[in-house]
Amino acid sequence: IKYIADNAFTSCTNIKRIICEGEEIPTAAENAFKFNVATPNLYVADGLEDEYANNWKTFIGKINTTNLTIGASEYSTFALNHSAKVPEGMKVFTAEVTGENEITITEVKQIAKGEGYIAYGKGNFTFEPAKKVVSERNINDMIGVYENTELSGDDVYLLSKYNDVVGFRCLGNENTYTLPAGKAYLQIPSFEAK
């Protein structure tokens, strides 16, 4: 797409998100993204958030950072829609199921877009987007979600605190849980679940 015309989306009342994966930003008329209802979420290629914001002035809220608050448990899960460096004061881990009742946790220094992670720290953290896409990935059985997602099953494990102990707990087939957008869960590979 090279050009988006004036009022191109004026009557589109049900759009929830727009995904722009290209690195060339289409020119947009001033009112191309004039919506009659709430502005949808915009996802763009890593490091191009400011350029999109400058070119599509009336449309974009700041999306080039993601914030995470970690409370007293000092642990949380998260998933980002952009690559990032690990913020100062936080440690970030992947999780790999390596055997029956065994999980290997590996610390990482860079965060890849679209992966689920475990965060350790306390307070408010901001993930600044990396200028270069993070492509080196460890084996990771954490699954990130970008919409509120209903989960159930014996292969789904959630990070939680119980009796002052933080750990992964099986959700089970009898239970359902809606995991908020931007969080992650541990998926036990099918061969391990048997």
Instruction: Tell me the pLDDT of the chain (194 aa) as tens digits.
Output: 888 888 887 777 777 777 776 667 888 887 777 766 666 667 666 566 667 777 776 454 444 457 888 988 899 999 987 888 899 999 999 999 887 778 899 999 889 888 899 999 999 998 887 766 676 566 889 999 888 899 999 899 999 888 888 889 998 888 899 998 889 999 887 644 43
For 73-99, give one letter per residue: b (16+ CB within 10 A) or e.
Answer: eebbbbbbbbbbebbeebebbbbbbee
Amino acid occupying residue 128: E
Dist. CA 194–CA 192, nearest whole Å: 5
Q: For residues 22 and 46, is the Cβ–Cβ distance under 8 A? A: no
pTM: 0.66
Helix (H, G, I), strand (E, B) or coil at 152: strand
The pLDDT assigned to 146 comes to 80
The pLDDT assigned to 150 comes to 92
The pLDDT assigned to 49 comes to 67
The pLDDT assigned to 64 comes to 45
The pLDDT assigned to 22 comes to 66
Q: For residues 140 and 115, is the Cβ–Cβ distance under 8 A? A: yes
